[in-house]
Amino acid sequence: MDTEIRIERVLPATIGRVYDAWTRAELLMLWYCPNPAWELKVQADVRVGGDWVVEMGPHVVRGTYLEVEPPRRLVFSWKWDGTDDEPTRVEVDLSEVEDGTRMLLSHTGFASAEDAANHQLGWEPELGRLAGILTPADRS
């Protein structure tokens, strides 16, 4: 098993809309939690050196923005409160494609394959909700 996560998706939206969904707190609150039943609070100071904090029910994760290149790239550290784990690193790379925006998410730096697998289980439903908020409503 691997100690890093790589997820690629094509999202049905412009690159600007996808970037906004990753950087605007009011949009992050619509998708950025693996359990939609939990209360979600988001703070995001999206600039190099700026901090972010997400409270997902009883869990809090936080980090610092390391690279901010609108609308193509976002890199930030990731650390859960209450653990001694070293921070991990999340990279989001966006590019325009025919069907919308290609998103490549890399989450690296896990101490174990089990930790990476647990985070993969969290990212999957979140990214499904992200696609859901970006899908245009049926106008028929």
38-90: per-residue pLDDT in tens? 999 999 999 999 999 999 999 999 999 999 999 999 999 999 999 999 999 99
135 pLDDT band, cuts 50/70/90, is confident
- Environment class of 49 (CB within 10 Å of its CB; exposed 0-12, middle 13-18, buried 19+): exposed
The confidence score (pLDDT) of residue 132 equals 94
Residues ≥6 apart with Cβ < 8 Å to 86: 79, 109, 111
pLDDT for the residue numbered 1:
53
pLDDT band of 36, cuts 50, 70, 90: confident
pLDDT digits 0-9 by tens, 91-122: 999 999 999 999 999 999 999 999 999 999 99
All structural domains of the chain with their residue ranges: 5-134
- Element containing residue 87 per DSSP (H, E): none
Cβ–Cβ < 8 Å for 24, 70: no
Output DSSP code: residue 47. Answer: S
Alpha-carbon span 140 to 138, nearest angstrom: 6
Residue carrying the six token digits 């696609």 = 131
33 burial (CB, 10 Å; 0-12 / 13-18 / 19+) is buried
Q: What is the pLDDT of residues 2-26, one digit of tens each?
A: 899 999 999 999 999 999 999 999 9
End-to-end CA distance of the chain: 45
Per DSSP, 113 falls in state H
Supply the pTM of this predicted model: 0.94
Q: What's the whole-number average pLDDT of the chain? A: 94
CATH code of domain 5-134: 3.30.530.20
138 pLDDT above the threshold of 70: no
